[in-house]
Amino acid sequence: MAVEFEWDTVVIGTNLAAALSAQQNNWHILFNKEPTFFKFNTLTSKELEYQVWESIASDLSLRALNPFGDKITLIRVVDDGIEVVCDNRKYKVRCNNIRFHDDDNIENFPFEKVEVQCYRACDWFRVTSGANHDYWSLENEDDFVKKIYFIPKKTLPKYKDCVSESIIDKHMLKHIDYTSTMARLKTTQTMKEAGILGTKHTQTYRYPIKMELLERQIFEIKKEVFQKMDNYVLDTRVFK
């Protein structure tokens, strides 16, 4: 049997814009998927996006505006509100207005699906040779491996691992030229061109720069739209 809630306005989404909308207007929020952020994404305020989001998400929880947290498995839009499924339990939320900041994991979504324009691929590498240098970032003119960020190793902070950030066309994500292997090769070449040297072996020889893939994160970059229909609003604009 469904447990019923009655709220005026419900925000659906997990990005920073959704969280800010709920916080500033004292609206309840539903997370339709797991929140994911690129660790180095910076706002125009110079703050890190994920840190701002964590602060707002904590505030929403303390104010009981996010009662389901990360337990939601499905959201279904119905005539008089929303059905929220958490594993094998279903909850009914009666509401007057729904603001969508995303369209994933939502049944009966009242708008057309939001177009994915391209992808952000972030390849995280463990550097095994070439980890000792003074750089914190390197940039390229191309979208593929457009920027490399360096991170101190947890156990040996004098040395650095890295992550390369790429923007990839939506039709090219699976192409061999845009794989993590190609990102590793271009990252290595960019580091070499910047003058970074591999680990010293003898007085006259250094090993080449080497690294191994830890993981690849893929983020969808969707079209930014703002639409209204009856008591529904679709707003996928990104907070910057």
| pLDDT tens readout for residues 73-118 | 999 999 889 999 998 889 999 999 999 999 999 999 999 999 999 9
Q: How many helices (H) and strands (E) does the chain have?
A: 3, 13
Residue 149 lies in a domain: yes
Chain segment 179-218, per-residue pLDDT in tens: 999 999 999 999 999 999 999 888 889 999 999 999 999 9
User: Which residue in 105, 116, 149, 120 sits closest to 218, CA to CA?
Assistant: 120
Please report how many Cα atoms fall inside a 13 Å half-sphere around the Cα of residue 215, on the Cβ side: 3
Residue 152 lies in a domain: yes
Domain identity same for 109 and 175:
no
Domain identity same for 104 and 174:
no
Domain identity same for 59 and 110:
yes
For 60-85, b where at least 16 C-beta lie within 10 A, e where not — what string?
A: beeeebbbbeeebeebebeeebbbbb
Residue 198 lies in a domain: yes
Domain identity same for 25 and 37:
yes
- C-alpha distances (whole Å) from 137 to each of 121, 146, 156 are 17, 11, 19
pLDDT for residue 3: 64
Domain identity same for 11 and 106:
yes
pLDDT (mean) for 42-53 = 96
pLDDT for residue 55: 97
Domain identity same for 144 and 87:
no
Radius of gyration of the chain (CA): 22
The answer on pLDDT for 1 being more than 50 is no
pLDDT (mean) for 9-33 = 97
Domain identity same for 108 and 180:
no
Cβ partners under 8 Å of residue 15, min gap 6:
35, 53, 101, 102, 238, 239
**Total tally of structural domains belonging to the chain:** 2
pTM comes to 0.90
**Amino acid identity at 178:** Y
Domain identity same for 10 and 107:
yes
C-alpha–C-alpha distance, residues 153 and 198, integer Å: 16
Domain identity same for 46 and 93:
yes
User: Which residue in 215, 217, 196 sits closest to 207, CA to CA?
Assistant: 196
Domain identity same for 122 and 200:
yes
Structural domain span for residue 157: 117-220
